[in-house]
Structure 1
Amino acid sequence: MVSLKDIAQRCGVSTATVSKALHDQKDIGAETKNRIKKIAKEMGYLPNAAARVLKTNESNNIGVLYFDEAAMGLTHEYFAGVLNGIKAQAEMLGYDITFINTSPVGKKLSYLEHCKYRNFDGVVIVCARFQDNEVQELMSSDIPVVTIDYVHYSCSAVSSNNVKCMGELLDYIISMGHKKIAYIHGQDFSSVTRDRLAAYYRALEKHGIDIPEEYVREARYLETEDVANQTEYLLDLPDKPTCIIYPDDTAAIGGINVIRSRGLRIPEDISIAGYDGTRVSQMLSPKLTTIRQDTDKIGREAADRLISIIKKPKTALVERAVVEGILLEGESVGRI
């Protein structure tokens, strides 16, 4: 590895002069600075990351917390899109990203301890059990944090416009003549669920539609088995819904399997809708009516906001950025 001393010998100057040139300090002539930089580049010099941390107290490294309860890892289309957006934007702005784990040195560390151990400049929390003490500790710390789809008093957040998008989805379903609309939503503790559920009730109220309490069910996001059980429940009701909205496109597959196992056709016998707009949802037959979330933009927005907080902490505000989604009408909601 090329050192400052190697460059100094080649240029015939001191190592202090080389250091000043490479750090663009003003007390060195432009001609000398440019010559040293040119020779350093020719020699293949790369600055030492550890030395940079000591000098600037910045690692140019962002931590990413991604705890996937569904155990789908990076194969989950929504989170993979968000992570790719974070990575692309962070790298464009000169930052690396590192996933946070709790055993980086062979012993158990909390999320916050790992962040300090790695000297992360900031953290994006993409997916986590937000109610866990370790996650709350990290969000309440002095490390800059931006969350995805979760609102915390001390962190900026980025999310899809769940209220508007769910309202648009309901408006479309109702425009197709449906009034018996069931909703199998995600976990109650999720801010995403709360927003979507409120938008569901608002849309029904706007259109003067009353629905029985039995039409609103809970199932875990991405869990096809949970959704299958709730679909069985809805189809066994004496007054069955004409349309079922699922928490996400992946979980909807569990509902589709139940509907078809009963010999029912989509959308001729019952209509369905999902949420996320995954590629798979548009490969199904019929194509799923759903909301496509702009995952790349969500990820890029999160990286942008975090790096802005890192670079300009004195002007940083706790804000919530909302990214618009798109209604995909698909073919799974029939007209009554």
Structure 2
Amino acid sequence: MVSLKDIAKKCGVSTATVSKALNDQKDIGESTKARIRETAKEMGYFPNSAARALKTKRSYSLGVLFEEEAGSGLKHEYFSSVLNGFKTQAESQGYDITFLNTSFEKRKMSYYEHCKYRNFDGVAIVCADYHDPQVMELMDSNLPEVTIDYIHYNCTAVCSNNVKGMEDLVRYVYSRGHRRIAYIHGQTNSYVTKDRLASFYRVCEELKLDVPEEYVRTAAYLETKGTAVQTRELFELDDPPTCILYPDDTSLIGGRNVIIESGRKIPDDISIAGYDGILMSQLLHPKITTISQNMDEIGREAARRLITAIENPKTTFIERVVIEGTLLPGQSVGDAPKT
């Protein structure tokens, strides 16, 4: 491995001069800096990460907590896109990322202990059980942290604009003549659900729409069995809806399958809409009406905010950063059937 001493010898300068040149210090002339940098490049020099950490008191390593309960893991397009955006932005600013776990060298440790063991500069909590004591311990700690779609007093949160997204979706469905709109939402303990559900009721109230209690139901995000059951029950009502909104594009598949199996046609007999804007939603026929979340930007902004908190702690606020989504009007929502 090429050392500072090797570069100094070749350039005929001191090791201290090489160090100052590579760190762009002002007391070294520009021509000398350029010559030393070019020599270092030709010799294949890479700065020692341990030495840099010792000098800067940072590891340039970020932890990522990702515990996705539906079982899709990194195969799910929403999370993989968010994580890819986070990774790309972090790497562009000189940081590596490592996933957190609770087992290492055959012994158990908490998420917080893992962070301390790995000397992470900060942590991104992308998906987790936020009621887990270990997750709560991590969020309550003094580590710089950012959360995705979850609000905590001690962490900056980066969220999609779920309030505006749901409003746009309901108003679009309303514009197509639908007045009997059902909403199968995700888990009620989720901030995402709370925002979307409140927005759904608020817009329906503004539009003077009656929303029977049996029109609003619960099914897990990213899972099709629950939405299949709820869709069947909606069809059994005396006055069934003409349009059903689903928790996300993946769980919508459960309802879609029930609709097709029952002999109904989309959107002639029933209109449906999802949420997320994943690629699959735009490949299905008919194309799904949905809200496209800017997943890559959510991840990138989370990385930017986390690194800012690490590098400028004295001027960093704990904030809720909202990323706008976009309505994608597909063919799965048609004009409401005339009665």
Cα deviation for residue 272 of structure 1 reads: 0.8
Further displaced range: 148-157 or 8-17: 8-17
Further displaced range: 289-298 or 59-68: 59-68
- Equivalents in 1 of 2:20, 2:240: separation in Å? 75
- Equivalents in 2 of 1:74, 1:117: separation in Å? 25
SS in 2 for 1:158: strand
Cα deviation for residue 70 of structure 1 reads: 1.9
Cα deviation for residue 301 of structure 1 reads: 1.0
Further displaced range: 113-122 or 251-260: 113-122
Further displaced range: 89-98 or 102-111: 102-111
Cα deviation for residue 196 of structure 1 reads: 0.1
Mapping of residues 99-248 of structure 1, within 5 Å:
99-248=99-248
2:120 is aligned with what amino acid?
Answer: F
Q: How many residues align?
A: 336
Structure 1: runs of 5+ lacking an equivalent: none
- Equivalents in 2 of 1:188, 1:323: separation in Å? 22
Query: Which whole-Å deviations, capped at 9, do the CAs of 1:218-239 have from their partners, x for residues lacking one?
Result: 1110010111111111111222
The aligned residue for residue 76 of structure 2 is: 76
SS in 2 for 1:69: coil
The aligned residue for residue 58 of structure 1 is: 58
- Equivalents in 2 of 1:152, 1:210: separation in Å? 34
Cα deviation for residue 259 of structure 1 reads: 1.1
The aligned residue for residue 262 of structure 1 is: 262
Cα deviation for residue 14 of structure 1 reads: 3.7
- Equivalents in 2 of 1:33, 1:165: separation in Å? 52
TM-score (norm 2): 0.95
The aligned residue for residue 273 of structure 2 is: 273
Cα deviation for residue 25 of structure 1 reads: 3.5
2:213 is aligned with what amino acid?
Answer: E
- Equivalents in 2 of 1:21, 1:285: separation in Å? 60
Query: Which whole-Å deviations, capped at 9, do the CAs of 1:168-198 have from their partners, x for residues lacking one?
Result: 1001111111111111100011000000000
Query: Which whole-Å deviations, capped at 9, do the CAs of 1:263-303 have from their partners, x for residues lacking one?
Result: 11111111111001111111111111110111111111111
Query: Which whole-Å deviations, capped at 9, do the CAs of 1:16-72 have from their partners, x for residues lacking one?
Result: 333333233445454444433222221111011112111111111111111121222
Question: Percent identity among equivalent residues?
Answer: 64
1:330 aligns with 2:330: yes
- Equivalents in 1 of 2:261, 2:31: separation in Å? 78
SS in 1 for 2:327: strand
Query: Which whole-Å deviations, capped at 9, do the CAs of 1:133-171 have from their partners, x for residues lacking one?
Result: 111111111111111100111111111110011011001
Cα deviation for residue 6 of structure 1 reads: 2.0
2:320 is aligned with what amino acid?
Answer: R
- Equivalents in 1 of 2:244, 2:209: separation in Å? 15
- Equivalents in 1 of 2:4, 2:62: separation in Å? 27
The aligned residue for residue 86 of structure 2 is: 86
SS in 1 for 2:114: helix
- Equivalents in 1 of 2:26, 2:327: separation in Å? 55
CA RMSD of aligned residues (A): 1.5
- Equivalents in 1 of 2:23, 2:283: separation in Å? 53
1:220 is aligned with what amino acid?
Answer: A
Further displaced range: 306-315 or 30-39: 30-39
The aligned residue for residue 7 of structure 1 is: 7
